[in-house]
Structure 1
């Protein structure tokens, strides 16, 4: 008997129509558009938390320094034999207190931070070292002479009065605060913050912050003398440690620029303010909404990068403000719209102002 194969022919699986495929793609696109900002916000929150952790570690080192030495580190220090512009910053003397003793021990204090053996062509010198705790992971806007590897780059050969380039110097996103600009009026006393005073400072303008400039400790008259900025003791912070800024974010810096209002800024000096070992890693807070720069009213908190890289103000790539380290070791966020009198008050140790942040 013949048996016939009675099986039905197989049906091919049903495929997506073009319309269904387009609908799926559209749904995926909408979901990505909704989720991407949340992902970016989460990433920035993580970066900001790491940046805060860096400042807390720096603050702990500062307090340990003060506990050991009975004063905060000098803002600048010039070993004998160097010119003023070859001094070292607080962030060099601070190294042993943030577990970086090995880097500190490599410095040869007979030479500036820009010279060999401190700054080496093979990038193995101590001032070439990229120190993670000195860098904020949120930093994205960089000054022209700051490389993506965390070092200065692209500077002209033999720039500066010392005859040595700053290329290769490791950078920092945290700036020591000298105080308000000398000409800013203290609303309590009615006089400028930089008013002269005291028998030891009769020919000097005074800084009112914590990390002061070289000549605040006495005139540095010649190359052969060793001299330091005045140092501040904890008991001198009469405005309260919580209400006095020690260090603020000033990210993306490299070498100082000259402002060109209608064009690109130019390299102005041999002062490498963005290098952590440079004596220029301190600044007075200068700009405020009443100051017109290139016809614009510019704030001292997050001004446009063009002005930031000239004036060295508070600056960050965190949305809405900057993080500041206070003298009690706490880290607090300052919003872009902080009242000008508040941020000037927070930059002084003994101005007598009352602040309500």
Structure 2
């Protein structure tokens, strides 16, 4: 008797084949491939959960890398300040100011460190530009020259030049010198025309702040790397800043801000008045460089202690 093959479809959409040969019957069942709606929904839910766990972890890892770079930048700056002190027996001036006879008016402390940051050519160019055309400094090449050492990647805006108030193309810095309490007391280490030495720091170099984080203002008018007049032509808010800086109200931006002092706290670009205090894009605090060259992350919750460490000889 010849073999016979028949097909039938069962209620679960499977296919059953019957093979008849020599009086015997072999049954082979085939299941159609594919996912049911329920299985698909479960798969989507699992993928969503995994993505929900993966994205925050990725963001955390990226911020951790940015924090490391930011800390290392300050360490390099700290080493440069130590080398400057070894050469001149003092830390650099926070800002050279504009007193009569000043050869390089309004030059920042950052530029004074260029020779110790492998930027001797830029330092020599700055000296040449000031010798031939001391004012205005906005025409100097260095005014538009970006240095990654002074850019914290958690912000990133200082990694390129920007147009400040539709007037000047300028290079920026995420790190400002610590005046002390404010631009009137000048009781810190870096302020206008300062020449502070280690022997002047009675609180100890390991307890005294010298540089901290403060992102450039949203209009890029505050936070110039090369030079700047700042509040009351002291560089305040531009290259240096007090830990409880006063608002001099001598600029179109500061005129819109309250006269109250702003202590060390969280900030944001949405509030333009936050250029008047130290803050960063890191969660919960900012990095600070101490006068002995070490770097610490200081929490906003420790604002009172930070204020004490901002001065070189006693509490503010």
Task: Calculate the TM-score normalised by the size of structure 1.
Answer: 0.67
Aligned to 1:345: 308
Aligned residue among 95, 107, 111 for 2:134: 111
User: Aligned ranges for residues 217-296 of structure 1 at < 5 Å?
Assistant: 229-253=193-217, 272-279=221-228, 280=235, 281-286=239-244
The structure with more strand, counted as a fraction of residues? 2
5+ residue gaps, structure 2, are 6-18, 21-26, 229-234, 247-256
Question: Is the partner of 1:349 in helix, strand or coil?
Answer: coil
Quick check: 1:30 aligned with 2:49?
yes
5+ residue gaps, structure 1, are 119-124, 141-146, 157-164, 183-204, 214-228, 257-271
Taking only aligned residues, the RMSD between alpha carbons, in angstroms, comes to 3.3
The structure with more helix, counted as a fraction of residues? 2
Aligned to 2:23: none
Quick check: 1:135 aligned with 2:148?
no
Q: CA 1:338–1:78 in structure 2 vs 1: closer, same or farther (change >3 Å)?
A: closer
- The Cα shift of 1:287 comes to 5.9
Larger RCO (CA within 8 A; separation ≥ 6): 1
Question: Is the partner of 1:87 in helix, strand or coil?
Answer: coil
Q: Distance in 1 between matches of 2:310 and 2:219?
A: 24
User: Aligned ranges for residues 267-346 of structure 1 at < 5 Å?
Assistant: 272-279=221-228, 280=235, 281-286=239-244, 299-307=263-271, 309=273, 311-340=275-304, 342-346=305-309
Mapped contact 1:286–1:300 kept (Cα < 8 A): yes
Deviates more, 1:297-306 or 1:33-42: 297-306
Mapped contact 1:177–1:282 kept (Cα < 8 A): yes
